[in-house]
Every structure is written in structure tokens, then in C-alpha cells.
A = this chain, B = another copy of it.
Amino acid sequence: MVADTPLHGVRALFFDVFGTLVDWRSSIAREAERILMPLGHELDWAAFADAWRDEYQPGMEEVRAGRIPFSKLDVLHRRNLERFIPRFGLTGLPDPVLHDLTLAWHRLDAWPEVPAALARLKRKFLIAPCSNGNISLMVDLARRNNLPWDAILGAEVAGDYKPKPRVYYAACDAFDLPPAHCMMVAAHSSDLVAAAACGLRTAHIARPNEHGPGEGERAPTVPVDLVGQGLDEIAEKLGA
């Protein structure tokens, strides 16, 4: 029952996407293999995915720190790709291949319980991604995985990257809601602590295998309002 808890009054749910709703690691490994294997490359595809993801925070930090203007995540993904692939012995890849690889982030698969749980949650709450992914990337993931968003919010709408407060505030503002009536749902404590500092409610989903077997957050390392082993458990606890 939500009515008698601090969660009473929550009207919108904002979702982290990479890792929380979609399994970027095995999807990127699959896409890289699909694109590069026919070109004669044999790599550790999971290590390729991990190396790309390792460039993720430093890439966004360029924007957050104001060293470069806001750029869509697609642009950062491409920069980051070109930065790490020499370590895999990949040089001189043609531009269309680099472009296709970059768009692999538009072809990620949701964790299995996500589409049905989101549809349940939509009956009771406004739902939107509040991701660092750009709008077109979010739209492609939504179409691929049947994610029934009310709107696409997040970094591109805010013009900056999480965990900058402006990204959370912009999401609340788009729905005309005070932060206390919004809940951030993520598999990453760093995201939730930043959202909580902005006044949002928080829910943590365990994704213990996000970065490989046993390599992900089993539980939050910060105080949160709600925890779930999956989005279905979050939906259950929110009475949806």
C-alpha cells in the first residue's frame, strides 16, 4: 500500500535506461561481433563493450565541466569509440563502419521483465526516461522494446548530463511536478543520490550482472525509498 507511506503523492516515474532497463553489455558485444566479425576481426566482444562503456563518464565530463558544448550522446559515443579501438588493434575502419557501430547503442535489448512492468506502471504514473541518451536513441530503444513512454526526457532536453541537478529538475518541470512528486528509478546508487539531493523519491533496481556475471549493484549503497530485484517488483510495491 502506497497511500500511507512517503511514496503517497508520487505521480511520475523517471527511469535511468542503460543498465537499468536495457542490457547494454551483451547487446553491444553482440552488435560489435555482428559488424566486425565479417570484416575479419576476432575480439573479446564483452571486453570491447566494457572498454567503450569505460569511456562513458569521462566523455560526458567534458560537457558537464563546460570544456565542450552540449553534444548528443551519439556524438560522444563516436568520439569515445575512436578513442579506445586502437587498443583492440582496430585502425582505419571506414566511416560507415564506425557509424554503424555507434548506432549499436540504438539497438540494445531490454531486460526481460521491463516492457510488461512499464506498461503496468503507466496505468498509474506518468513515465519517462531520464537518461543521458539522446532523444533519437531513446525512441529507437522504445520502438525495439515496446517501452510506452509518455515523453522522452533527460539529457538532451536539459542540455546537460546526469548527475547534474538540472537534468532531474528539467524532467520534473516538463511534467509540471515538484520533485517530491517524482521518483527516479535506477540501478546505480550514484544516479539515485543525485536525484535525492534534488528532492526526488528514489527506487533502486538490482542489476547484479550489468557489467558481467556478478558485476553490478546488488543493492543500493545509499538510502533510497524503494528497492526491487526487478522492475516488476517495483511495480508491485507501488501498487501498479
Contacts and interface: CB of A to CB of B under 8 A. Distances in A.
Interface stretch (A34-42, A61-69, A84-92, A149-157): A149-157
A139 interface: yes
Across the A-B interface, give the 5 residue pairs with the lowest CB-CB distance, nearest first.
A151-B152, A135-B174, A136-B176, A139-B150, A136-B175
- Number of copies of this chain in the oligomer? 2
Interface in A112-156: 126, 134-136, 138-139, 142-143, 149-153, 156
Contacts of A134: 174
Interface in A53-85: 74
Interface in A176-230: 176
Nearest to A138: B151
A153 B135 CA distance: 10
A121 B70 CA distance: 32
Contacts of A136: 174-176
Contact of A142 (B138, B139, B150, B174): B150
- Residue of A134, A152, A153 ringed by the most chain B CB atoms within 10 A: A152
Contact of A176 (B74, B149, B157): B74
Nearest to A126: B139
A136 B157 CA distance: 14
B151 A143 contact: no
A179 to B, nearest CB: 15
A120 to B, nearest CB: 16
Contacts of A142: 150
Nearest to A177: B136
Contact of A174 (B126, B156, B175): B156
